[in-house]
Structure 1
Amino acid sequence: MTVQQRRPRAATSERREVLVREVRDGNGNIHDLARRLGVSASTIRRDLRDLERSGEITRTYGGAVRGPHPHEPTLREKEHGHPREKDAIARVAADLVEEGDVILLDAGTTTARLAWHLRERTGITVIAAGINALAVLAEAPGVELIVLGGRVRHPGEGIVGPYAEEQLRWVGPDKAFLGADGVTSRGLCCPSLEQARLKHAMLEAARTTYVLADASKLGAEPFGYWAPLDRPHTLIVDAAAPASEVERLSASVLRAHPA
């Protein structure tokens, strides 16, 4: 006798349609989804498991992302996204750097623009975790440049790994400037666990931390790894960042206006 596969009830089917839309919009946290849909977390986990089997999403620790496998863009691809906004954010960040400062500079395209605006400075020390920032500052005569040791990760060209994390135990930077592929109330969204660990170590090492994020990053959850923003920090966003998204992040905010 052939056993026919049971089809989901109408309510279940409708809920799963909503789930797919929410996950594709970057809202993949299990407990947030459970509250929003008025069901238990275990029901959401069961729904996500079945949706993953159908190839519509990819489950992660604590939630899900659009499936089947999120694409991680290269730095060259990222450089074409929101260049005016990133440069405006970088200029605001550069104005925060004072002579005598020791700063931590995360990998990424916005932090690379910050490096560009610092290349003529004197009397500052930059500890860099990205190949693109290193290339910009390598010949800056007034900048003391320190390279975090570790493995270069592609395609983001950031330096990651236990050696980089260990090195941060021995420095006390005045300021850290972090980037991310997404920023939500959970923290900074990252393509890999190594990146998430390093960003959190940078957050813990610095006296003051700034997160550089254009409007497209706010509320985005493209990957399944997170660096919690569990210490005070300031978010630097462009003028187009929606007030509703900014307010959800419970952080001090500086807005940058493109030239």
Structure 2
Amino acid sequence: MKVEKRREAMLKAVLSGMNDVAALCEHFGMSEATVRRDLRALADERRIVRTYGGAASVGMHEPEESLDTRSASFREQKEAIARVAARHVQDGDTIFLDGGTTTAALARCLAGRTGIHVVTNNLLAVGALTAADVRVTLIGGDVRPSSMSTLGPIAQVALTRITFDKAFLGADGVVAGRGLCEATAEQAFLKECIAGQAAGVFVLATSNKLERANQQHWTPLERDWTLVTDALAEAPVLARFEERGNVTVLRAGVND
């Protein structure tokens, strides 16, 4: 098979969900070196993104779900993730809560924790925290109605003036070896700014977001960080993160 046709066939396989190098080797009957070379070439052409141990589609700018849809979906899993994350918040901590419904669930778990300081751009989190006398600092900026969070240059400048013991981030997708994907460049860059100001970084993501590259703007995570996901996450998927060496994986049970 000519190189061009072989790579087109490999592209179709990756887009259909076959994103593991070993699986591609078996499917095409090729050596690992050849498969990796073809994947590298497709990535250089920006037709796929390389991930640890394989590849993923670059994303097709999937339309964002409405806030109501996201609030209703995976609710039990988000609550379980939030409970696990809350155990890592200690009295005296200054933490950052990113935008999103899973981090809003964490805010509800922290209600009443008067020994902490929460900095956030998540308007969904503010009511639960302030009603329970938690100290809250709201980062200003432009409001995104689809997530009820703030972002933009004002938010970026504000973040240069404060550091955090821990930051809790959400994401549209989380890919091992690649980072977090988001719908806009502003969202992705803001998460990078947040991570840069935190001593510890936690990513809260339901299992459906793992190895999901449905958007084209990325926040790289090359430092040590912790992934908190739910009981539905499959072991082979989690192994891709654990094999990186800089990722600690916590798997929450629905009934924690």
TM bucket, shorter chain: 0.7 to 0.9
Could you tell me which runs of 5 or more consecutive residues in structure 1 were left unpaired when the two chains were aligned.
1-8, 49-56, 58-62
Q: Counterpart of 2:103 in 1: which secondary structure?
A: helix
* Partner Cα separation in structure 2 for residue 138 and residue 24 of structure 1: 46
Amino acid at match of 2:75: P
**CA, structure 1 residues 205+80, in 2 after alignment: closer, same or farther (shift >3 Å)?**
same
Partner of 1:39 in structure 2?
Answer: 38
The answer to whether the Cα contact below 8 Å between 1:210 and 1:235 also exists between their aligned partners in 2 is: yes
Partner of 2:254 in structure 1?
Answer: 258
- Pair 1:210 & 2:202 matched: yes
Which runs of structure 2 are paired with 1:7-18 in the superposition (5 Å)?
A: 12=4, 15-16=7-8, 18=10
* Partner Cα separation in structure 1 for residue 18 and residue 132 of structure 2: 39
**Deviation at residue 167 of structure 1 after TM alignment:** 1.3
**Deviation at residue 38 of structure 1 after TM alignment:** 4.8
Partner of 1:162 in structure 2?
Answer: 153
**Deviation at residue 119 of structure 1 after TM alignment:** 1.2
Partner of 1:75 in structure 2?
Answer: 67
Partner of 1:173 in structure 2?
Answer: 164
Amino acid at match of 1:72: E
> Which string of whole-angstrom CA distances, capped at 9 and with x for unpartnered residues, describes residues 208-246 of structure 1?
111111111110001001101122111111122122212
* Partner Cα separation in structure 2 for residue 66 and residue 226 of structure 1: 11
TM-score, normalization: structure 2?
A: 0.80
- Pair 1:198 & 2:194 matched: no
Q: Counterpart of 2:131 in 1: which secondary structure?
A: coil
**Deviation at residue 96 of structure 1 after TM alignment:** 1.2
The answer to whether the Cα contact below 8 Å between 1:24 and 1:66 also exists between their aligned partners in 2 is: no
The answer to whether the Cα contact below 8 Å between 2:7 and 2:38 also exists between their aligned partners in 1 is: no
- Pair 1:86 & 2:78 matched: yes
* Partner Cα separation in structure 2 for residue 226 and residue 188 of structure 1: 5
**CA, structure 1 residues 100+40, in 2 after alignment: closer, same or farther (shift >3 Å)?**
closer
The answer to whether the Cα contact below 8 Å between 2:99 and 2:121 also exists between their aligned partners in 1 is: yes
Amino acid at match of 2:162: V
Question: What do you get for the CA RMSD once the two structures are aligned?
Answer: 2.8
Partner of 1:107 in structure 2?
Answer: 99
Q: How many residues align?
A: 232
